[in-house]
Amino acid sequence: MANNHQLLDLDVAALGELYRRREVSPVEVTAAYLDRIEQTEPKINAYITVTADLARAAAQAAEREMAADAYRGPFHGVPTALKDLCYTRDIRTTGGSKILADFIPGHDATVWTRLREAGAILLGKLNLHEFAAGGSSNNPHWGPVHNPYDLDRIPGGSSGGSAAALMARSALAAIGTDTGGSIRIPAAVTGCVGLKPTYSRVSRYGVIPLSYSVDHVGPMTRTVRDAALMLNVIAGPDPHDTTSSSIPVPDYTRELEAGIKGMRVAVVRELATQLATEVEKSFKSALKTLEGLGATVEEVSIPFLATSAASTARTMIVRAEALEYHERWLRERASEYGPDVRALLEQGMMVSASNYVRAHRVRALMLAETERTLEKYSVLISPACKITAPKIGEDRVRMPSGETLPVLAALVALVAPFNATGQPAIAVPSGLSTDGLPISIQFVGRSFDEATVLRVAYAYEQARGSFPFPKI
């Protein structure tokens, strides 16, 4: 039907249509993706493990099922990759670390169980910032992941391999995790769509933790519709994860095309300051687009979100909970950690029990203040990151004011607050900078109202038009 280039350009929804019309086969599509991985990996380094033989076998099984009209749904035959925090039975799961370099789990993560049962085809396990504890994906053990829009730049982190594979067209869908922006930062600087669902909406069973009360698992895709389709598969209660919610899961695609006329969208003043010039310009353009779609856009203030107390509280919680998981390894194998991850874990030793409890109280105040605002508005909006992708190894970035910021601070400042609150948030591309780097916006919604977040993001995405793939 189509050449490899055309197959790789398809999104999940479009590929599903071709499968249903029997114009293309899963074997053909999977072969195209495996060829693409072989072509791009020397440049991108998005994968730690490629499961080529398993992918071919799964594709053949999917082809037989489709020939028998046993169609499993929109993810049947979709070439998918997992951040290498997700357990995969009998397949190496490293966490991007040296410590787990040879770890082979005996069971699957729930997210992969659900995707596999929906017919997804596993291409492999994706590179990441070691143990998901950073924002660059400069991995000291498995090598840095490169941004496909500029190979000298980072893809963000910690789910950098997930974003890079999507936009290098070496995966059609991917799973990421998000503890301080680790889905949305890579999506923002690498040009894909990244959805952090509400805390507890998606099971974390079988996913190596960073911070058990702040970790989220979610879809990374090329389009908003694909994110909705993927969330339909992976969301829902799980008896293996006692924190997973029993709130019913809707069909997240049902209201995607309902439009946003009459909706109220809140620009959070504290999250729209000190931006790179082109990020600010793209953000203002996005606001005009939303107004053109019939939404009312108003500025609001949520002062507590941007305070040092809020930032410190989230950081304390993450460090303390990360230490709890890593304590034995840190004691016995400290030299096997990368220096930045080791430093983060050692800082966890300095968080007292009383400060940990206080941090959770601050977190509750953040959620209450944000939910009060969302009683009056459908969604909040902000840029996703203050900057575009920095160069690999760059530690600080100069802002238009002349002030220099740590790169990590410029990447996490606008996304991390919603890990503390647990509310759903999505990063969607809004354009390219003059040097060809992706810029993105973020929509945030009420807890368990992913449907509205996706609806607004979809309306914006459709008005924006198609987003260009990198020339790689």
Active-site annotation holds for 391: no
Distance of CA 37 to the CA centre of its chain: 20
Active-site choice (25, 83, 98, 245): 83
Distance from C-alpha of 466 to C-alpha of 293, rounded to nearest angstrom: 17
Q: Are 132 and 142 in contact (CB under 8 A)?
A: no
Q: How many helices (H) and strands (E) does the chain have?
A: 15, 15
Identify the active-site residue in 25, 158, 170, 282: 158
Per annotation, catalytic residue among 170, 182, 311, 378 = 182
The span from the CA of 208 to the CA of 85, in Å, is 5
Residue type, 407: V
Burial class (CB within 10 angstroms; exposed 0-12, middle 13-18, buried 19+) of 355: middle
The answer to whether 430 touches 203, Cβ cutoff 8 Å, is: no
Q: Can you read off the two tokens belonging to residue 346?
A: 């050692």
- 182 counts as catalytic: yes
Check if 97 is active-site. no
Is 347 in a helix, a strand, or coil?
Answer: helix
Structure tokens at 22: 């029997």
User: Are the beta carbons of 231 and 219 closer than 8 angstroms?
Assistant: yes
d(CA 259, CA 101): 47
Nearby residues of 252 by Cβ (< 8 Å), 6 or more positions away: 228, 229, 231, 232, 235, 450, 451, 454
Q: Pairing mode, if any, of strands 121-126 and 47-50?
A: antiparallel
C-alpha span between 11 and 345 (Å, rounded):
39
**Can you tell me the distance from the alpha carbon of 353 to that of 254, in angstroms, rounded to the nearest whole number?**
45
337, 99 contact by CB (below 8 A): yes
Q: Which two tokens stand for residue 306?
A: 């941007």
Place of tokens 């789910």: 159
Apex CA 186: angle with CA 248 and CA 370, to 5°?
Answer: 50
What's the rounded Cα separation, in Å, for the pair 129 and 156?
9
**Interatomic CA distance for residues 424 and 436, integer angstroms:** 29
Q: E strands of 399-446, at which residues?
A: 404-406, 425-432, 438-444
Q: Which positions are catalytic?
A: 83, 158, 182
